Amino acid sequence: MTRWMRTLHKWVGLVLAAQFVLWMASGLAISLLDHEEVQGHHHRAAVAAVTPAWPVGTLTPAQMLAAAPHAVRSVETAWLRDRAVYRLAAGESAWLVDARSGERVTVDAATAAAIAAADYVGPGQAGAPALIGAATLEARGHHAPIWRVDFDDEDHTTLYASGQDGRILERRNDLWRWFDIAWMLHIMDYTDRDDFNNPLVVTAAAGGLWIALTGVWLLLASLRIRRTARPVVVT
């Protein structure tokens, strides 16, 4: 039995050897990379403690609904810098309307630059915002159009803002980029780096569990062997 266990431990180990090293190395990296910094919190401006009162004289939500180009699921108040706006949402799309004039508000480069600058604290200077047509790996899970604003700080901070409603979508930096590689290796999703339910990682994890179980067996068996072997050595 133990011989079988050893053989299986060896062969499954041979197949999974590289992944074992990668799991442990990436796991170690994830545990060492400060998660707050990975999330970019150290370059994030504190949220204003006091939200300004909603001004008198804005258009009514009913007017917003009447003028909306298509069905709307929610209408909410928001501020785009100093401008009172309504955010209208329907499914995955959202857009802004000036709360006083009723004009559609587009998030242009200047607005994106201002949004990014307001969200950022640190020594970096913002570069010119770049409009991205399709979500990249760094801005995955979000819908285009997306503004990308790079800062020239040590961490190479990049902020992503929605081209639809001006929300900050992601705060990325070099630490996150390392984290993301480690995460990719850890969950074995080499394309989207998102799906930890992929068949490859499930299979590898099943093999890993097999290695662990046979390993425990062998470890306990080695105890028993040593105990029975000792008298032989003595004589």
Partner 1 sequence: MPEVRDDATRARAIRLEDRTPVRPALWARRTHKWIAWLVGVQALLWMLSGLYMTAISIDTIHGDHLVHPADTTPLLHSGRLLGADDLVARHPGLTAFRLKRFMGRQVYEVRDAQGVRLVDAESGASVGPLDAALAGRVARSFYRGAAPVETVELLHQAPQEVSTRPLPMWRVSFRDRSETTLYLSATTGELLAKRHDLWRWFDVLWMLHIMDYESRSDVNNRLLQVAAALGLGFSLSGVWLLFYSFRRRVRT
The binding site for partner 1 (CB under 8 A) comprises: 10, 13-14, 17, 20-21, 23-25, 27-28, 30-35, 51-62, 65-66, 71-78, 90-91, 99, 187, 196-198, 201-202, 205-206, 208-209, 211-213, 215-216, 219, 222
Strand (E) or helix (H) holding 118: helix 109-119
CA-to-CA distance for 192 and 139, rounded, in angstroms? 11
With DSSP H G I counted as helix, E B as strand and the rest as coil, what are the percentages for the chain, rounded to 5? 45, 20, 35
Residue 100 CB, shortest distance to partner 1, in Å, is 10
Q: How far is the CB of 218 from partner 1 (least distance, A)?
A: 8
Nearer to partner 1, 33 or 113 (CB): 33
Q: How far apart are CA 139 and CA 107, in angstroms?
A: 17
Whether residue 55 is preceded by a cis peptide bond, meaning omega within 30 degrees of 0, is: no
As measured in angstroms, the least distance from the Cβ of 128 to partner 1 is 32
Structure tokens at 167: 């929300």
Name the residue nearer to partner 1 (CB basis): 127 or 210.
210
- Between helix 174-187 and helix 2-32 the angle, nearest 10°, is 160
Q: Which one, 131 or 177, has the nearer CB to partner 1?
A: 177
Nearest CB to partner 1, comparing residues 75 and 144: 75
Smallest gap from residue 126 Cβ to partner 1 (A): 28
